Amino acid sequence: MNCQMINISVTYRDGRVAQLENVYIRGSKIRFLILPDMLKNAPMFKRQGNKGTVEAGRGKSAILRAQAARGRSRGGRARGGGGWQGS
């Protein structure tokens, strides 16, 4: 999760403090992020309700789970499949 911030103060390891106008931090470099408690009740984090079915925003794991429930495998035969089919 990349993060872009404006008008921030940064404290360096040696204790110096500086004001920065714009900062963009790559997600892989972020260890933790502390958000103010007032954001807990912000409308942007409220659930939108049930505007669709469960399948509306499915990820890969949900798709694979649904396929397994229908009895569909991931394709082909299992280990060593093919070849002679004995009588």
Task: Specify the CATH number for the domain of residue 21.
Answer: 2.30.30.100
Q: How far apart are CA 66 and CA 64, in angstroms?
A: 5
Say if 47 falls within a structural domain: no
Residue 5's DSSP bridge partners are 23
Residue 38: strand, helix, or coil: helix
Say if 65 falls within a structural domain: no
Residues of the chain with pLDDT under 50: none
pLDDT of residue 31: 92
Say if 17 falls within a structural domain: yes
How many domains does the structure of the chain reveal?
A: 1
Instruction: Tell me whether strands 17-25 and 3-11 are parallel, antiparallel or unpaired.
Output: antiparallel
Q: Is the dihedral of CA 28, 29, 32, 36 positive or negative?
A: negative
Say if 73 falls within a structural domain: no
pLDDT of residue 76: 56
Q: For 43, which DSSP code?
A: G
pLDDT of residue 53: 55
pLDDT of residue 81: 58
Residue 3 near residue 25 (C-beta atoms within 8 A): yes
pTM: predicted TM-score of the whole model, two decimal places: 0.41
Owning domain of residue 7: 1-32
pLDDT of residue 14: 96
What is the number of alpha carbons within 13 Å of residue 71 lying toward its C-beta?
0
Say if 4 falls within a structural domain: yes
